[in-house]
Chains A and B, each alone.
Chain A
């Protein structure tokens, strides 16, 4: 054995040892990250399932002491608010991302847009609430579903822009060139080649964004305000699951605390169902 080889042999043992230690640390970190996630989910599941039943989903809130109260109004409210946010955030976000990725990648304007979107991502959500309060609630002289939807929409836009742009950038240029060289017009290339290739990632991004805003409470305090009765009117205050969870959780009644847990479970289920529907809807589009 040459001197170099014996040196390698000596080091092999310690290298193997360090390798073992590092992999153990990574595994421990992974477990550490899983503990809070897993315990939140099981805790909400166990605490929420007790009060979660059909009545809870279909009924209005009942006064303390009366049985059979539910969060039906808040569930409908959340669906209305999220739909409004999606109606505003998805088209604006996706079209902006297409502009940034396919039409104007470099320059002062696109980098300003990216910078603003990134800043908006980090803005405290209550600030968005105050802003919408100023531009919609004060002029309309009323809290409203519209204001809540706009607040959530404003939060959704930057998530969709940055996520979708990232997904579009992952589509290799070679596909765009192949399509252009076949004599396709640019909009055709985007609609028929680039978007279908990136659609799974874009849907995932949008669903993560929807899940994020569906759980927001702070921007709704000053906009949607909450409503203990059925309402789908856009110019009236509207209930929302996070608002009702908040109100019930800070109340002094055990019964309401249980309902707050059930509301949390319901919120998680809503987000989960939305994601599954979106996945199923795009399943036909992927081949590999």
Chain B
């Protein structure tokens, strides 16, 4: 199994608060890897380190080594903007750009990076919306505001927006936690389809969700990785007592 992301002893801080205390793990290509753990355990910080989004918060700091496709993304020769173009990210709350149409939301990543060819843009928009399973619902109103969509549709719009720049890795930070059960189900189905083409890392609060959709699961606690294994093993025969306590609902 090819490892696209190799994380070695990563530590991260917000100001003086250390949120990651030495994380090491490897993430497999075209698989869904879930990060679970109680609030404040460093799940979100961890995936924000993977596309250099952690450092955009004032006072935030990262140490350690992260290789993505064998490139050290924290090397001084690497432009963080280039890294972010190759790694898509979907956030907890749907955040379409309010001043843009549905079409422009999806095209924004390409347009604002200099792609102007109408044909190229149109094809990319349709392809991305189809992949995000939103095309049929919005194809007749691409010129409407992105804000006119329901919460679940907005989140799929954000997924389409992230896919349009053709990343090979997709990071999802609790993408369904602000959605209703039906929208959540659609996002989960989507994740299953997307893993054919993308490597997906998903942070989730919802253990059933992790069990349903992921191939691998990492359990985080207080900024440390407690256990990392095939999802089935984590949920059926956890090796660590703390993992077992967490997944059985005894804390967290």
Please give the residue numbers on chain A whose beta carbons come within 8 Å of chain B beta carbons, in ascending order.
105-106, 172, 174-185, 188, 192-193, 196-197, 285-288
Contact = CB atoms under 8 A, between A and B. Distances in A.
Interface string B80-104: 0110111011010101011111000
Contacts of B147: 287-288
Interface size on B, as a range, is: 20 to 34
B112 A287 contact: no
A183 to B, nearest CB: 3
Top 8 nearest A-B pairs by Cβ distance? A183-B85, A182-B109, A181-B89, A287-B145, A174-B95, A183-B84, A196-B99, A178-B95
B231 interface: no
A174 B84 contact: no
A181 B99 contact: no
Nearest to A193: B97
B56 interface: yes
A182 B108 contact: yes
Contacts of A286: 99
Nearest to B92: A174
Contacts of A175: 95, 97-98
B99 A183 contact: no
Contact of B99 (A176, A177, A285): A285
A191 to B, nearest CB: 9
Nearest to A195: B99
A105 B85 CA distance: 26
A263 B66 CA distance: 70
B186 to A, nearest CB: 20
Nearest to A184: B112
B30 interface: no
A179 B161 CA distance: 10
Interface of B: 51, 53, 56, 58, 81-82, 84-86, 88-89, 91, 93, 95, 97-101, 108-109, 112-113, 145, 147-148, 158, 161-162, 165
B81 A183 contact: yes
Given A177-B53, A197-B98, A287-B101, A183 B109 contact: yes
Contacts of B58: 105-106
9 contacts: A176-B56, A180-B56, A180-B84, A181-B91, A183-B81, A183-B109, A184-B109, A192-B108, A287-B101
Given A175-B95, A182-B84, A183-B86, 18 more contacts: A105-B58, A176-B56, A177-B95, A178-B97, A179-B112, A180-B56, A181-B51, A181-B84, A181-B88, A181-B162, A182-B88, A182-B108, A182-B165, A183-B81, A183-B85, A183-B113, A183-B165, A184-B81
A179 B97 CA distance: 9
Interface centre among B51, B58, B81, B112 (most CB of A within 10 A): B112
A286 B145 CA distance: 9
Interface centre among A105, A106, A179 (most CB of B within 10 A): A179
Contacts of A193: 97, 99
Nearest to A180: B56
Nearest to A176: B56
A160 to B, nearest CB: 21
A185 B161 CA distance: 16
Contact of B162 (A106, A182, A188, A288): A182
Contacts of B84: 180-183
A184 B86 CA distance: 12
Contacts of B158: 178
Nearest to B108: A182
B165 to A, nearest CB: 6
Nearest to A181: B89
Nearest to B96: A178
